[in-house]
Amino acid sequence: MILISAKPIDLNMVLSKVQDRSCGATVLFVGSTRDHGDRGQVSGIYYEAYTEMAKAKISEIATVARKRWKIKRFAVAHRTGKLQVGEVSVAVAVSAEHRREAFEACRYCIDSIKTTVPLWKKEILESGEAWVRGVIPKSGKSGQTARNVK
């Protein structure tokens, strides 16, 4: 399951998508909006996505994860729009027969989502708004940063 939506993320629904009787491990990563950033106090975050491409990239990430680790099921939900501090912005769930595979695959998935999927976030600060800089996808030079805007 890959979901990109302005609606709040239902963690129980995400978990239900990765349930599998043959699996002994399920890992759920939950990312939420924190109250601070590099530029100061944050009152919220605004997310934009190129939805079709984001879903395609996340599908590619799942394919790689399935090849590297013997995961059975995979689910991702990512928010768009304005989120308040404390709201869930992303959830990644992976199930596998064993915990090591599930943990490693889940970490790979969230790290890859953060660096390769066309999602942009703007921090809403006391002093105004600022797009958050992110890592350039693999097609760029390693270690550089770029402003993630369309």
Mean pLDDT (the chain, rounded): 87
Question: SS3 for 14?
Answer: helix
Is the model's pLDDT at 133 over the cut of 70? no
Measured CA distances, 112 to 22, 42, 85, 107, 127 (Å): 26, 25, 24, 8, 31
Q: Which domains does the chain have, with CATH numbers?
A: 2-147 (3.90.1170.40)
Radius of gyration of the chain (CA): 16
List the one residue out of 76, 78, 66 whose CA is nearest residue 102: 66
CA–CA separation, 103 vs 109, rounded Å?
10
The pLDDT-based confidence of 129 (bands split at 50, 70, 90) is confident
